[in-house]
Structure 1
Amino acid sequence: MATLSNCFQPLKFSPKRHRFNSTSLFTRRCSVSATINQSKLDILLDSVKWDDKGLAVAIAQHVDTGAVLMQGFANRDALASTISSKKATFYSRSRSKLWTKGETSMNYINICDVFLDCDKDSILYLGKPDGPSCHTGSETCYYTSVFDSLHSSQAEGSKLAMTTLQSLEATILQRKAEISESSTAKPSWTRRLLLDNKLLCSKIREEADELCRTLEDSEEAPQTASEMADVLYHAMVLLSVRGVTMEEVLTVLRKRFSRSGIEEKRSRKLEGS
């Protein structure tokens, strides 16, 4: 089996193209606004531990990738506006007014849910961005690694704070780019898979079978995790070949949360008939 030991390398950010309107892909949970009970909303707003200026930290997180998009401050009105409008809204301390992310750039953060931490003194906006969340054009405002800064005399400040799946996807994309950039690039298993569809498909089938065998043969849980990692890696290489992102896959999965799996499969059969 292929190993993943050489697959993860720090990557520099390159803007990803947005393939379609994310708003149209929201689940019922993200797009349908229920009537808000004002008394319940007031109780919720009263429960937040606002600081002496009436503010609390508000952090926006990507609902599909888990990426932390940005951080700002919210007051009572900003949180109420976010809940009612389903658009991430903050309070500007410099301008002393509310502002909705995307009101000038149109890169709104469409809210799926809002969470308070255990102490109720910070707020998490969980949502789907329409575009880059940082005013610099970066996908998130977090692209400067402290460790890189400490270990390098010239920190470039252009590496996104990525989740594990994002890092793997970015590495695969880098290998894909290297194929056309250089014929003398160091050999890698990922590039070999990218160039050989038959080999790639055979490996996915092989790894999927080995994953199933961990169940059939009652193997230890760590072995199941290892085999699943291999399946996921090879499947993500196939996604790269097809030009499909993990974010698109996760969006499809999220769309299915609000309906029965049996119902969803039945609808796919009807659509194909």
Structure 2
Amino acid sequence: MTSFKVTVPASSANLGPGFDALGLALGLHDVIEVQVIEAGLKVEVIDAGAGGVEDVPTDETHLVVRAIRRTCERLGVRPPGLHLRCFNRIPHARGLGSSAAAVVSGVAAGYALAEKPLDPDAVHLAAEFEGHADNAAASLLGGLVIAWCEDGRFFADRLRVHPSIRPVLAVPAVKSSTAATRGLLPTEVPYADAAFCAGRAALAVHALTCDPAVLLPATADRLHQHYRAPAYPATARLVRDLRNAGVAATVSGAGPTVLALTTDGIIPAGVGVEGFVVSELPVDSAGVQVTAG
């Protein structure tokens, strides 16, 4: 393919207790237009709603370009030159998998340039490059994913989300860094907390696929969210208020976005959402898509 378009969804990782294991693809998409040219590299970055992309590079250090190069190297193909137009809609540094989406779009583009369909190796390649399989696998496969690593190799399985689940996002203006918030996590946790989250993560899979009535207990967490709360007090307050109102709310990924897993798409009256942009998004069941340009 010498001209094509890659559409890749945002994602929310962890979903409460499923730390580094569960991910959910969301109906908010970055779009990358790829054209093979005679030589060189041209990258255009268009802010299509991401809330500012001024610091995004337009050279070989661009994350999509790096992922394309890595994938092409693995697949044994070398395009003479590339022209990319990147339409960024996924907010950066908000816990919605913008980096993973960029990597996945680059991997998908690399497969398209090699004229090969995406395969299970693509999950490993994207997760290896990005560092975590939960966001990357969700953007690649769509739906709900369970991700894991075995002997240094990443895997993921995709599950169908119950059709009544309607995710609602509350996105603040402030940004957060995954590296910074991960640094707030302890090296050890109490055994009781680990056992609690193992049970709730299993329940979360059941709730998200079969029984949304148990979403509230299924999304309870003792493993990471309270350790990170000092980094975003407004986020922690909103999660607490929503859960007290009966809504299955979690911190989306490393934050500071709040994910509410509802069946009605509504934030209850009386829950203060000042400082957040609230929107309902569908679950993306398709994952990354490559279409002719």
Question: TM (normalized to structure 2)?
Answer: 0.26
The one of the two structures with greater contact order (alpha-carbon pairs below 8 A, sep at least 6) is: 2
Q: Which has the larger radius of gyration?
A: 1
Name the structure where helix makes up a greater proportion of residues.
1
Name the structure where strand makes up a greater proportion of residues.
2
